[in-house]
Amino acid sequence: MTEASPAPVSVIGLGLMGAALAGAYLKAGHQTTVWNRSAGKADALVAQGATNAEDISEAVAASDVLVVCVFDYAALYSILEPVKDSLRGKVIVNLTSGLPEDARGAAEWAQGVGAEYLDGYIMSVPPGVGQPQTLLFYAGDADVFAKHEATLKVLGGNSVHLGTDPGIAALYDLGLLTILWTSLAGALHAYALVGSEKVPAAALAPYAEAWITHVVLPSVKGAAAAVDSGQYATSVSTTALNAIGLGKLAEASKAAGIRPDLVLPIKEYLEKRVADGHGDEALAGMFEVIRSPE
């Protein structure tokens, strides 16, 4: 059974992301109550039609669906623990970043106070909230997700329930963030390298899209299959060849006066695979070194 009409929602926490969440609900026609420790952050939302709760008790009483987006899980508890007796029967949708064990602990706590719980992750920046392509991960009770799916999809049309383990969404979040951070760091290293020769970053950037689309993404997808099968045979590009290439990149970086720190661990992973007799295998074999660092 799903919601027949826009359900009232209380958004707790009005930082950049929390304000974007509340704005999306207002735009979609939901009766939206907002609350933040610093009440002034609600002013712009009130001007759009939100109700500013005087205190957290009022925010909890206003809606059955409580969307929480605060700094960390400690903040979550400090806000909701004092009103725990009012949470029975409520749905807590926690969009606070943390670790899988944080999510599992919060789910257990919510169960203890009689609330239903979904742990979620917004895989976007605030301007992306509410867009049909925006990805959100959710984990927890499947029936709760199904019942409130229409409300959850207001925040992003690509909302995915990953399973009943409350910690699985956090795990996926960390996985994709790893790809983001390392990819961006690699791009910045590349900009520093070409910049050492007075080449502007903007001159290299147009070629990154084609490189990522036609080389990097296929490599990432292929690596997933290789990792899951444990088979690293290749007829494309070997670990030994790339180990030489990484050595040259580290050398070029030092010569250019920029830090080689980013590429040195990758070079070491490849050299370890070569030393272990896997030089003729694919780059994806680095997985075996990463998961067994000793």
Candidates 97, 165, 126; CA nearest to 19 is 126
- The per-residue pLDDT for 4 is 62
Same domain, 154 and 24: yes
Same domain, 16 and 71: yes
The CATH number that applies at residue 48 is 3.40.50.720
Tokens of 244: 């030489």
- 214 within some domain: yes
- 182 within some domain: no
- 177 within some domain: no
Same domain, 119 and 226: no
Same domain, 212 and 111: no
Same domain, 202 and 251: yes
Same domain, 154 and 205: no
- 171 within some domain: no
Triad 269, 271, 272: Cα angle to 5°: 65
- 170 within some domain: no
Same domain, 94 and 134: yes
Q: 146, 165, 184 — which closes off a domain? A: 165
Cα gap 148→28, rounded to integer Å: 15
The number of domains in the chain is 2
Alpha helices in the chain (DSSP H): 16-27, 43-47, 56-62, 73-80, 100-112, 142-147, 149-153, 168-195, 201-211, 217-229, 239-256, 264-275, 286-291
The CATH number that applies at residue 262 is 1.10.1040.10
Same domain, 25 and 80: yes
Q: 165, 182, 215 — which closes off a domain? A: 165
Same domain, 204 and 268: yes
β-bridge mates for residue 117, sequence order: 92
**Residue 54 domain boundaries:** 9-165
SS3 126: helix
Same domain, 246 and 121: no
Q: 111, 145, 165 — which closes off a domain? A: 165
Same domain, 116 and 159: yes
- 183 within some domain: no
Candidates 224, 122, 129; CA nearest to 173 is 122
- 190 within some domain: no
Cα gap 35→62, rounded to integer Å: 11
Same domain, 141 and 211: no
- The per-residue pLDDT for 2 is 52
Q: pLDDT 10s per residue in the chain (294 long)? A: 455 689 999 999 999 999 999 999 999 999 999 999 998 999 999 999 999 999 999 999 999 999 999 999 999 999 999 999 999 999 999 999 999 999 999 999 999 999 999 999 999 999 999 999 999 999 999 999 999 999 999 999 999 999 999 999 999 999 999 999 999 999 999 999 999 999 999 999 999 999 999 999 999 999 999 999 999 999 999 999 999 999 999 999 999 999 999 999 999 999 999 999 999 999 999 999 999 977
- 2 within some domain: no
